[in-house]
């Protein structure tokens, strides 16, 4: 991605997270980036295309991180631990992306459905790991859909915790809390 496209991407993400999708105009984006509309339209045909690109790239980043880390591990509890730690790190580094995904999750418009689709695909990935862990008797028996949704829910919990404790957000401290209270409860 070239420098201008990246700047449009990052600025749009920040504005969508702060103001919301509907309240952010193309004019807001171009004024903040400092480019003409023509330059923006050279890279993206519409605000919707910017949004779609942002969601696609953000979810791809999260899924790729999970795939790379979990592929190296054979124990399913360790895979869940890796997922939780990655999710906390993603919230810290990409708070705006998570805010947009969660903010656009509810509703029936195309962008809401796109967010729902990506979140459900991500939860399905976690669910598959949970199912395999249950089959291998490394994760205690339970409903994999519920467990996967709970693990995904830690993204929401991490974001709320971060917003409440901005000056005292410690990734490993939060991870250790989740490990003690949630992950250990999954052990077979």
DSSP 44-88: -SSHHHHHHHHHHHHHHHHHHHHHHHHHT--SHHHHHHHHHHHHH
CA distance 117 to 107: 12
Residue 139 in 3-state DSSP? strand
Mean pLDDT of 113-142: 95
pLDDT for res 169: 82
Chain center to CA of 176:
20
Work out the pLDDT band at 188, boundaries 50, 70, 90: confident
Q: Is residue 148 predicted with pLDDT exceeding 90? A: yes
Other Cβ atoms less than 10 A from the Cβ of 91: the count is 25
The length of the chain is 188
Phi, psi of 139 (to 5 degrees): -120, 135
Lookup result for tokens 């702060």: 18
Domains of the chain and any CATH numbers: 1-45 (1.10.10.60), 48-186 (1.10.357.10)
> Token digits for 28?
């807001």
List the beta bridge partners of residue 187: 139
Contact 86/66 with Cβ under 8 angstroms?
A: yes
Least confident of 4-18, 102-116, 158-172: 158-172
Other Cβ atoms less than 10 A from the Cβ of 49: the count is 12
Q: Is residue 145 predicted with pLDDT exceeding 80? A: yes
Residue 23 in 3-state DSSP? coil
Torsion of the alpha carbons at 141, 120, 84 and 68, rounded to the nearest 10: 100
User: pTM surpassing 0.85?
Assistant: yes
């Amino acid at each position: 991605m070239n420098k201008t496209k990246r700047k449009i991407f990052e600025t749009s993400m920040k504005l969508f997270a702060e103001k919301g999708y509907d309240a952010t105009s193309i004019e807001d984006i171009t004024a903040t980036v400092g480019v003409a509309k023509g330059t923006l339209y050279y890279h993206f045909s519409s605000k919707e295309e910017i949004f779609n690109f942002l969601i696609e790239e953000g979810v791809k980043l999260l899924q790729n991180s999970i795939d790379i880390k979990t592929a190296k591990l054979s124990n399913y509890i360790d895979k869940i631990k890796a997922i939780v730690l990655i999710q906390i790190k993603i919230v810290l580094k990409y708070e705006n992306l998570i805010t947009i995904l969660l903010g656009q999750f509810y509703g029936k418009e195309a962008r809401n459905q796109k967010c729902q689709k990506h979140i459900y695909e991500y939860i399905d990935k976690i669910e598959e790991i949970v199912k395999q862990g249950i089959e291998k008797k490394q994760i205690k028996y339970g409903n994999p859909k519920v467990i996967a949704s709970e693990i995904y829910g830690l993204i929401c919990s991490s974001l709320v915790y971060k917003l409440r404790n901005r000056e005292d957000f410690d990734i490993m401290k939060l991870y250790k809390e989740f490990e003690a209270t949630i992950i250990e409860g999954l052990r077979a």
